[in-house]
Amino acid sequence: MPRGSAATTDAPRPASSSTPGDSLTLGVEEEFLLVDPRTARTAPEAARVLARVEADPPPAGGGYRPELHATQVEAATGVCTSLTGGGGVAGQLTELRARLAAAAREEGVLAVASGTPVLGSGTTHITPGDRYERIAAHYAGTMDHYEMCGCHVHVGVPDAETAVVVVNRLRPWLPILLALSVNSPLHRGRDRGFASWRIAEETRFPGAGVPPWFDSAAHHSAVLDRMVETGALVDHGMTFWLARPSPRHPTVEVRVTDTATTVDEAVLQAGLVRALVRTALTDAERGLAVPRPDDQEAAAALWNAARHGPNGPLVHPLTGRLGPGREAVETLLEAVTPALEESGDLSTVRDLLAALRSTGTGADRQRAAWREGGPRAAIAVSAIPLPGEPGSVFDPGTPYALDPPRGLPRIPDTPAGVGAPTNRRAPTLAGTAAGTPSPAAPPEPEARREDPPSPFHFDPASPSRAQEPPYA
């Protein structure tokens, strides 16, 4: 294989109790932004939102946690054994999101599922607490405006040695998972030209990106010890690798993906990650070789995925060569099909992939909304709807804007101090809160410009989106 390092097998093998015949448990953590609809900027209201939502914990397990920045919150499922069905990932995420969205509305903000804030807060707000304050002081200016949100999938493994073997085997696939999840093209008022600007922002930190190859659990621990001793990490739980043996749970934690706009997209990631872990265990038990890209090759593959998403060229996970994104995605699906069949998830994952191809990635939808309606529309497509509200997916043929939450002022088309995008059409309101008069819809232009091409076609020749005029 034309990689920087030859394909290798594992040493040592994973514990035999972790054979694919076992049911692999999983859980999902999602990070969300809190956005003030009056200003379209992030708001440091996490403590109040968490106090409200934690008063009525979800019955299926899981719960909510603060993040380093007070403008963010995390929702986490309990331990799941299935993607769908009673107690599955889909049902738990749906309930967690609905409760969080309602609590946020009660506190006058929106819960937004985007990898980056469209406008940001203008000020860095660190959550009170000894560890958070130590982290903020240690990393100094690198923490400024770092309001990034990811989706983390945990899959249960029996021991640390098995976790290291699995993480090694996941390395070539992490960029493809990212490409399917891209949902952060906008940051601080600009289209940054990346489908996942979140990944570009993470390069601020030591050790960010695809993890290195570890020879054993002892090797992994020794590297962590050195990173803490040299001051690169605050503690052993602070690693920035995009897949790792979890420091808190008996799991492999994959955290390469942007926060998903919808539950379906999060479930897709959960299904693919569990299938990759199951495949890694099977291949390791059989002694099959695994591609071992060197660290620079892995970084290049991740960069391409963050830059283009699935619409552009991607590094093939097995050959290491640049090629059509569709081929890389098809290779991923082919590799995990036996595992998906074994878990009964194949039809679910295929359907979710087909839906994503139809609607486009979160980055596609944010950009389409941005072109049509500026920051207000871009936030609207990522805001978590309450039960019964219209979905938050933007249809270019039917402009959509979020209903003003609980009678609060609508998100302004142009927030104070922010310039206006050119050649855009203000979105109409999808409805109004009870008792709130509906503002008149803006007139339609006489000749509507042609809609953007159908997204998510895996075409390597697809041009990168032109950047919109910057916002302050």
pLDDT digits over 204-258, tens only? 999 899 999 999 999 999 999 999 999 999 999 889 999 999 998 999 999 999 9
Residue 60 pLDDT exceeds 80: no
- Tell me the pLDDT tens digit for each residue of 280-303: 999 999 999 999 999 999 999 999
Confidence of residue 431 (pLDDT cuts 50, 70, 90): very low
Does some domain include residue 83? yes
Does some domain include residue 14? no
Residue 258 half-sphere exposure toward CB, CA atoms < 13 A = 37
Residue 405 pLDDT exceeds 70: no
Residue 1 pLDDT exceeds 60: no
Does some domain include residue 399? no
Q: Are 365 and 359 in contact (CB under 8 A)?
A: yes
Does some domain include residue 113? yes
Residue 407's Cβ-count burial label (10 Å; 0-12, 13-18, 19+) is exposed
- Tell me the pLDDT tens digit for each residue of 20-57: 444 799 999 999 999 999 899 999 999 999 999 988 88
> Rounded distance, CA 55 to CA 47, Å?
12
The pLDDT value recorded for residue 349 is 98
Does some domain include residue 75? yes
The pLDDT value recorded for residue 442 is 33
The pLDDT value recorded for residue 432 is 28
Does some domain include residue 441? no
The pLDDT value recorded for residue 447 is 31
Mean pLDDT for all residues in the chain: 82
The pLDDT value recorded for residue 265 is 98
Judged by average pLDDT, the poorest of 4-8, 17-21, 53-57, 91-95 is 17-21
Domain enclosing residue 171, as ranges: 24-358
Q: Which residue has the higher pLDDT, 64 or 21?
A: 64
Give 98's contacts (C-beta < 8 A, 6+ positions apart): 384, 386, 387
Judged by average pLDDT, the poorest of 98-112, 206-220, 256-270, 420-434 is 420-434
Residue 410 pLDDT exceeds 90: no
Does some domain include residue 92? yes
Cα dihedral 64, 65, 70, 72 sign: negative
Does some domain include residue 469? no
CATH of the domain at 287: 3.30.590.20
Q: How many domains does the chain contain in total?
A: 1
Cα dihedral 389, 394, 397, 399 sign: positive
